[in-house]
């Protein structure tokens, strides 16, 4: 392999829990909720699928179905989809819904998997190109910079910047072109069989990881070092 492409959420990084997400925003707004109410609201947000990078909606509202389907094609669609889901959950202040969305875009909301730096460093040491290919509606580069992983990444290909989302092969082709590599000599690493599996249409090899919490997946990326050869 001459290059490895990585997904972002659930692959290299993990979003904080829904309870942590909500608590951080309430603290910032100086709003106190009794713990049982906070836990109930966090559970409702989780079921609604309101946290980007978290669980999918248990039941997708019909009026949001179309925007949800194409949510990663622009920043506006991404925000509309997730704040639309969030607003289905009553919160003490209507402004909290936008604050929640803004919170998830901050480096503090994300934690790299324990072996992410080790694996990225190992690939760089071998001269293997590294790209990040993500279905997303905002610029994740500051997350990589804040956590010290940006130095390993040669190219970022983000769906909202191209108006194309995985599994469309064109997004993976864009990444291969940016790295100047042959897709047939490229490994795509992700956590979504359908979305990340789209790279196979170009001839890329695909390796899937389990998007577990970071404490439960200490070495899930290490096989990539062997697969990359």
Domains of the chain: 3-14+110-227 (3.40.50.1000), 16-109 (no CATH)
Using a 10 angstrom Cβ sphere, with 0-12 exposed, 13-18 middle and 19 or more buried, the burial of residue 117 is middle
Q: What is the pLDDT of residues 120-150, one digit of tens each?
A: 999 999 999 999 999 999 999 999 999 999 9
Q: Calculate ∠ Cα 187-191-192, nearest 5°.
A: 100
Tell me what pLDDT residue 52 has. Answer: 97
| Residue (of 133, 197, 164, 169) closest to 70 by Cα position | 164
Residue 229 predicted with pLDDT over 90: no
Structural contact between residues 135 and 8, judged by C-beta atoms closer than 8 angstroms: no
SS3 call for 118: helix
pLDDT given for residue 147 in this prediction: 98
Helix axes 96-104 and 75-86, enclosed angle (nearest 10)? 130
Of the candidates 70, 51, 69, the residue with the CA atom closest to the CA atom of residue 60:
69
Model pLDDT for residues 47-72, shown as the tens digit of each residue: 999 999 999 999 999 999 999 999 99
Average model confidence (pLDDT) across the chain: 97
Question: In this predicted model, what pLDDT tens digit does every residue of 27-53 receive, in sequence order?
Answer: 999 999 999 999 999 999 999 999 999
Q: Global pTM?
A: 0.95
pLDDT for position 41: 97
């Amino acid at each position: 392999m001459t290059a490895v492409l990585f997904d972002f959420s659930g692959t290299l990084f993990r979003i904080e829990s829904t309870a942590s997400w909500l608590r951080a925003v309430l603290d910032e707004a100086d709003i106190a909720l009794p713990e049982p109410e906070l836990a109930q609201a966090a559970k409702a947000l989780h079921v609604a699928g309101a946290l980007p990078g978290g669980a999918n909606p248990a039941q997708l509202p019909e009026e949001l179905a179309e925007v949800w389907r194409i949510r990663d094609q622009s920043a506006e669609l991404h925000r509309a989809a997730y704040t639309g889901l969030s607003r289905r959950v009553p919160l003490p202040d209507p402004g909290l819904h936008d604050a929640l969305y803004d919170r998830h875009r901050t480096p503090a909301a994300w934690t790299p998997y324990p072996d992410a730096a080790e694996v990225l460093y190992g690939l760089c040491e071998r001269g293997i190109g590294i790209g990040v290919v993500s279905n997303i509606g905002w610029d994740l580069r500051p997350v990589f910079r804040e956590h010290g992983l940006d130095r390993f990444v040669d190219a970022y290909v983000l769906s909202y910047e191209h108006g194309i989302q995985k599994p469309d092969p064109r997004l993976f082709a864009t990444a291969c072109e940016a790295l100047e590599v042959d897709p047939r000599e490229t490994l795509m690493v992700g956590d979504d069989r359908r979305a990340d599996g789209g790279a196979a249409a170009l001839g890329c090899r695909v390796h899937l990881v389990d998007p577990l919490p970071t404490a439960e997946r200490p070495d899930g990326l290490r096989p990539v070092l062997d697969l990359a050869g």
